[in-house]
Chain A
């Protein structure tokens, strides 16, 4: 590989990196306080539908092995 080819590869790479950084620099950012508030609201609204958070009654738990009944 000639050193000229290596040189132009490095330049192409540098150009791509700058182009990528331009894309990433150009986005709009919201305040972390707003982002946090939105996340807290989402968790709050959905908490009651979250079985692992709320717990699952034994009768509604498809994974719980049913205990055998003993007939006395």
Chain B
């Protein structure tokens, strides 16, 4: 038998082995296990602030760790830094390329990053007297869909070139490239302990990676279309994904499989974004149908909706202290709800 034939056979055998191992531990699913848990209260949140300032579709937003400032990115070619308490704009960063798809706030609050169809991740220093570009990270061969700082010296990116990368911000070079997806990478989420991250891609798979050695540790299947949004739950033991197949799913890392699916026959719009409340009980998922639906993560039931945008909800974020949820939309507004 040629080596190619042998490889194919071994691949099939390994896939069968993995499926059998997953089945062997599938003694229940999350919704059944949580049958005895009191339902989450019906969640009725009010818009507390509407942040007006962008002149075109908003594609991304990210909270600062100070729970007050946030950065948003719009295809009007600007990053805006907002004080969410007053609703005032604190800074505006003009972008070289207006085709922005992602933005990120460094945990220190010193830096922000943006990127998009320019295939680059640009990092800006907010603390110099005039905001300066400190690095242009240029090595991806496809669009930048997501970026997240680990610190002021390292950033993770996800790209339409099907790779993710860890960059050294002092040298501007890639330290590690994460290769395994066969579709555009659309999103990433760092684990609470920062030793691993998960990525979601247009190959409908989510993958768990070791940040330091670049190894893909686990692959999560189940979605039937692009995964646009992904987040670790605060305990670090499970992830939530949102997809163009109109569902969200929870995958447990240690059980290595899907444990619950958040779906509703009446929902036939793709999920664009998601964020979790601090206990992990509530999932805020933004959809193409202009709404953000709130799901009980344990029971799989819809417990509320945030309606108010006049176009697709493109981004969602909950600050570290969990005091509100922010939604950003193609209608050019950001709303703060609690």
Contacts and interface: CB of A to CB of B under 8 A. Distances in A.
Contact of B218 (A24, A40, A42, A56): A24
Contacts of A52: 43, 45, 277-278, 282, 318, 322-325, 338
A64 B46 CA distance: 10
B162 to A, nearest CB: 13
A30 B298 CA distance: 18
A65 B41 CA distance: 25
Interface string A24-35: 110101111111
Contacts of B3: 11
Given A21-B14, A56-B338, A64-B48, A27 B234 contact: no
A22 B257 contact: no
B18 A25 contact: yes
Contacts of A25: 14, 17-18, 21
B33 interface: yes
Interface residues of A, number: 41
Interface in B17-57: 17-18, 21-22, 24-30, 33-34, 37, 40-41, 43, 45, 48-49
Contacts, number: 167
A45 to B, nearest CB: 8
The B interface is mostly helix, strand or loop, or mixed, namely: loop
B264 interface: no
Contacts of A22: 14
B58 interface: no
B279 A47 contact: yes
Interface of B: 3-4, 7-8, 10-11, 14-15, 17-18, 21-22, 24-30, 33-34, 37, 40-41, 43, 45, 48-49, 68, 84-85, 180, 215-219, 233-235, 237-238, 252, 254-257, 259, 277-282, 297-298, 318, 321-325, 336, 338
7 contacts: A18-B7, A29-B254, A35-B255, A38-B237, A39-B30, A49-B279, A50-B322
